[in-house]
């Protein structure tokens, strides 16, 4: 993932990367993990993000990358994401949850998927 002032480039699964405006796609759910006590010393970092556009589309993506503490030579991280289309003009929660589970599999941490799902906006009962 490459970041500039207001746009980010996101690695996607089964399609080329997307560049989006952070302002137009705010984060609605997230999960983060790093090894060790302090993130600034971590060797490995995992993250999952869910962003939602005003038109109801959602972008679910994640990365497994090296942290500031360094990793062995030859380390290969992972990144992937999915664009979830809106359903009848509204966000599709079921497809979003499936996308979160897929991204968690790509970065190798199913528990993070559950953590990100738990961070989603609550459903009214």
Whether residue 30 contacts residue 116, with contact meaning beta carbons closer than 8 Å, is answered with: yes
User: Using an 8 Å Cβ cutoff, are 82 and 103 in contact?
Assistant: yes
pTM of this prediction? 0.89
Q: Quick one: how far is CA 49 from the chain centroid?
A: 3
Summarised one tens digit per residue, pLDDT across range 73-122 is 889 999 999 999 998 889 999 999 999 999 999 999 999 999 999 999 99
pLDDT, residue 3, reads 52
Listed by start position, the domains of the chain span: 2-118
pLDDT digits (tens, 9 = 90+) for 9-56: 999 999 999 999 999 999 999 999 999 888 888 889 999 999 999 999
In angstroms, the CA 88 to CA 40 distance is 43
């Amino acid at each position: 993932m490459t970041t500039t002032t207001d746009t980010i480039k996101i690695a996607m699964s089964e399609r080329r990367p997307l560049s989006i405006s952070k302002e137009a796609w705010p984060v609605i759910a997230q999960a983060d993990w790093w090894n060790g006590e302090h993130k600034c010393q971590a060797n490995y970092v995992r993250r999952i993000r869910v962003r939602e556009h005003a038109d109801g589309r959602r972008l679910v993506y994640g990365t497994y990358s090296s942290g500031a503490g360094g990793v062995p030579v030859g380390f290969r991280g992972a990144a992937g994401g999915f664009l979830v289309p809106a359903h009848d003009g509204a966000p599709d929660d079921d497809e979003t949850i499936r996308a979160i589970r897929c991204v968690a599999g790509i970065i190798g941490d199913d528990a993070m998927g559950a953590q990100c799902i738990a961070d989603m906006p609550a459903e009214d009962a």
